Structure 1
Amino acid sequence: MQPLDDILVLDFSTLLPGPMATLMLAEAGAEVIKFERPGTGEGARHTNPKLNGESIGFAVLNHGKRSVAIDLKAEGAVESLRPLIEKADVLVEQFRPGVMDRLGLGYDTLRRINPGLIYCSITGYGQTGPKAASAGHDLNYAGDSGLLSLSRGPDDNPTMPSGLIADVGGGTYPAVMNILLALRARDRNGQGIHLDIAMAEGAFAFAYWAHAEGVIAGQDIDSGGSRLTGGLARYRLYTAGDGRQVAVGALEEKFWQAFCDVIGQPVDLRDDWVDPETCAAEVARRLAERPSSDWAPLLEEADCCCTVVKTPAEAAADPHFAARGVFGRKLAIAGTKVSALPLPIAPGFRGPADQIGRAPSLGEDNARHAVVELEPK
């Protein structure tokens, strides 16, 4: 048995935050029904890259779910969903505030049908406030939370964030966490709840040090000037002689001294608190003298929190991750078996590791749930 194998999730979300959240719930055993537009389905079905005509990105986020194609604006569409609404445990939606209400699927309407429904709305700025109706994407939410200002790179070539922090960290993870908390609360009081997940707000937690320095202490924080964004020589990216980057994360003094010993950093240039730029320049010069293939074994032996930066393909092939089975789960895309996206769910809560999932074809579960594709009036 899995912890969520008795949970039914209705998924009205698209793209990344919601679909990844419902994927995690599905991986923990929940039945997830994804609702899509008839004819075209979710837009992500048509994104590149593709494998034999099937979108890889869509399959990675939507395998193991069911698909129902329905025009929610058609007459009788919402009423046809009533049997599912009555027995659903969770609903996840990602429209702008007010859209689900106009469709007849707002929380106040559905809780009268199903008082125990946990209704999770994921938006950029939340259900209320001056920006509630504003459009945005991960970059905007990360910018509004102050994250982008902390390490933006040179003004003539700003650095783009390497991960979708607001989408995943501010949307997906808070959604899953609060859904699970709501399920626990419902076990006690029998009541559902409307969860208001705002991605911009969820991003604040990723810069707790900036909150301490810039908000509470009131200090000015220069781009790249904080101890965790490049302000110290001991916590930076450097380029080795072959162009590969070395991630130096030697924050603690013992690790920093061990790293300096490996590269031969002069003792009088090791105090990066006094003169971080001079110290960093010497570290950069020394690392550039040899290729990363020379540095990697030396840094590994020193065990000083310094590693060569891997590409995604190299990371997936890392023997450590292979030993832990991180990429062991598979899914089928257009008949080809590929690695599934690793998810932070304990193996004991997931299905069999050798179970191969796949993304549903558009509307393949309409008949199963007695939902028909209703044409607009």
Structure 2
Amino acid sequence: MIEPLKGVTVVEFAGLGPAPFCGMLFAQMGARVIRIGRAGEALPVGPLARGREHIALDLKRADDVARALDLIAQADALIEGFRPGVMERLGLGPDACRARRPALVYGRMTGWGQTGPLAQTAGHDINYIAISGALHAIGLADGEPVVPLNLVGDFGGGGMVLAFGVIAALLRARASGEGCVVDAAMTDGAAMLMSMIYGFRAAGDWQDVRGSNLLDGGAPFYRTYRCADGRWIAVGCIEPPFYAAFMKGIGAQDLLALPQRERTHWPLIAQRIAQAVATRTRDAWVARFEGSDACVSPVLDLAEAPRHAHNAARGAFVEQDGAWVPKCAPRFSA
């Protein structure tokens, strides 16, 4: 197996959410990840904790801070997820660490960022995506904003962005011998994930009303529908040939006479599709569209997803300690 980060050493300071997710990504890619936890705390369990070496230190003790600096002096990168100023107060801020290792990449993961009027205030994923515009855009028409788990802030706009920033900085450090500080804020990352939507809005192709647009459930050909058994299918037939295949498959080909992208027709089309879909079970619809380009998929729960034929064929999940966990992504081959 190709491990693209083999030979890279990362020191991770124990935290919650996005920083451990970033550490997991590095470990999965072959890096040596040394996690510094608090003395006396139980070792973390679960997917986010896998692939680490664990060291317990009391960072209020000068000798343990010195041990941490010794580890950092041998590392390529550091990742931490404390509020701004915490690492400095411990004597482990960027200046102290890079004095020992000039090429060190110092990755900082926060919700609000290292600067700005909210930098020192508490918050969680929901708060960070709220000020990015992402939370407002997700939900049904005339409904409340829907919380997209903690995928947009913690992991997409947080851990993933931190990992990308640290890798980019590592490439620079290898070429120049100079490290740098990576300031990854979930507010920034969540806003960046919204780039295409902001682009649509600037072009006049996106309304600031939930559930009224192409990709937010407003379009009848890009949303979910309830089936006869109470389960759901996801329909994503945006392109005209795929849309035609879907409409013919549900017996609503007469609606193809209506312009697909004309919003005034969307309520009628959605109503007809919902009526048709409600006549069969989810799995019956999946069988009906098997092998077609109608872009119909079952909405699987967390127990079903690992056993889906496609996921099983790719080994997308592995069983550990009696539970399914997602496997490393992406894949690498020679």
Per the normalisation by structure 2, the TM-score is: 0.91
Indicate whether 1:292 and 2:282 are aligned.
yes
Distance change (3 Å), C-alpha of 1:2 and 1:130:
same
Q: Tell me if the contact between 2:81 and 2:110 (Cα under 8 Å) persists in the aligned partners.
A: yes
Q: Which residue of 2 is the match for residue 7 of structure 1?
A: 8
Aligned pairs for 1:166-185 (under 5 A) are 166-185=153-172
Shift of 1:213: 3.3
Distance change (3 Å), C-alpha of 1:301 and 1:168:
same
Distance change (3 Å), C-alpha of 1:182 and 1:81:
same
Count of matched residue positions in the alignment of Structure 1 and Structure 2: 330
Task: Give the Cα–Cα distance (whole angstroms) in 2 for the partners of residues 290 and 319 of structure 1.
Answer: 21
Aligned pairs for 1:48-67 (under 5 A) are 58-67=45-54
Aligned pairs for 1:45-124 (under 5 A) are 45=44, 58-124=45-111
Shift of 1:20: 1.3
Distance change (3 Å), C-alpha of 1:325 and 1:277:
same
Q: Alpha carbon RMSD of aligned pairs, Å?
A: 2.2
Which residue, out of 133, 157, 162, partners 2:120?
A: 133
Once the two structures are superposed, residues 32-89 of structure 1 have per-residue CA deviations (whole angstroms, 9 ceiling, x without a partner) of 11111122247xx4xxxxxxxxxxxx32111221111111122332122232121111
Once the two structures are superposed, residues 239-285 of structure 1 have per-residue CA deviations (whole angstroms, 9 ceiling, x without a partner) of 11111111110000111111000111152475342411111011111
Q: Tell me if the contact between 2:8 and 2:31 (Cα under 8 Å) persists in the aligned partners.
A: yes
Aligned pairs for 1:314-329 (under 5 A) are 314-328=304-318
Task: Give the Cα–Cα distance (whole angstroms) in 2 for the partners of residues 167 and 26 of structure 1.
Answer: 18
Indicate whether 1:17 and 2:18 are aligned.
yes
Q: Which residue of 2 is the match for residue 353 of structure 1?
A: none
Task: Give the Cα–Cα distance (whole angstroms) in 2 for the partners of residues 266 and 83 of structure 1.
Answer: 70
Q: Tell me if the contact between 2:306 and 2:324 (Cα under 8 Å) persists in the aligned partners.
A: no
Q: Tell me if the contact between 2:212 and 2:218 (Cα under 8 Å) persists in the aligned partners.
A: yes
Q: Tell me if the contact between 1:170 and 1:199 (Cα under 8 Å) persists in the aligned partners.
A: yes
Q: Which residue of 1 is the match for residue 328 of structure 2?
A: 343
Instruction: Please list every run of 5 or more consecutive structure 1 residues that lacks an aligned counterpart in the other structure.
Output: 46-57, 350-377
Q: Which residue of 1 is the match for residue 250 of structure 2?
A: 263
Shift of 1:25: 1.0
Which residue, out of 264, 271, 293, partners 1:281?
A: 271
Look up the equivalent residue of 2:259 and give its one-letter code. Answer: D
Once the two structures are superposed, residues 126-148 of structure 1 have per-residue CA deviations (whole angstroms, 9 ceiling, x without a partner) of 11111211221111112111111
Q: Tell me if the contact between 1:116 and 1:192 (Cα under 8 Å) persists in the aligned partners.
A: yes
Distance change (3 Å), C-alpha of 1:182 and 1:99:
same
Q: RCO greater where, 1 or 2, for CA within 8 Å and sep 6 or more?
A: 1
Distance change (3 Å), C-alpha of 1:290 and 1:82:
closer
Per the normalisation by structure 1, the TM-score is: 0.81
Instruction: Please list every run of 5 or more consecutive structure 2 residues that lacks an aligned counterpart in the other structure.
Output: none
Distance change (3 Å), C-alpha of 1:292 and 1:124:
same
DSSP-derived class of the 1:82 partner: helix
Look up the equivalent residue of 2:328 and give its one-letter code. Answer: L
Q: Tell me if the contact between 1:72 and 1:103 (Cα under 8 Å) persists in the aligned partners.
A: yes
Shift of 1:301: 3.6
Q: Tell me if the contact between 1:11 and 1:32 (Cα under 8 Å) persists in the aligned partners.
A: yes
Task: Give the Cα–Cα distance (whole angstroms) in 2 for the partners of residues 134 and 343 of structure 1.
Answer: 34
Name whichever of 33-42 and 274-283 sits farther off. Answer: 33-42
Distance change (3 Å), C-alpha of 1:268 and 1:305:
closer
Shift of 1:155: 6.1
Identity of aligned residues (%): 35
Look up the equivalent residue of 1:101 and give its one-letter code. Answer: E
Q: Tell me if the contact between 2:315 and 2:327 (Cα under 8 Å) persists in the aligned partners.
A: no
Shift of 1:291: 1.4
Distance change (3 Å), C-alpha of 1:286 and 1:104:
same
Task: Give the Cα–Cα distance (whole angstroms) in 1 for the partners of residues 230 and 278 of structure 2.
Answer: 8
DSSP-derived class of the 1:224 partner: coil
Shift of 1:26: 1.2
Task: Give the Cα–Cα distance (whole angstroms) in 2 for the partners of residues 103 and 163 of structure 1.
Answer: 29
Once the two structures are superposed, residues 134-166 of structure 1 have per-residue CA deviations (whole angstroms, 9 ceiling, x without a partner) of 221111112111111112336676533145211
Distance change (3 Å), C-alpha of 1:161 and 1:84:
same
Aligned pairs for 1:238-249 (under 5 A) are 238-249=225-236
Shift of 1:337: 5.6
Q: Which residue of 1 is the match for residue 223 of structure 2?
A: 236
Shift of 1:217: 4.6
Which residue, out of 254, 258, 270, partners 2:241?
A: 254
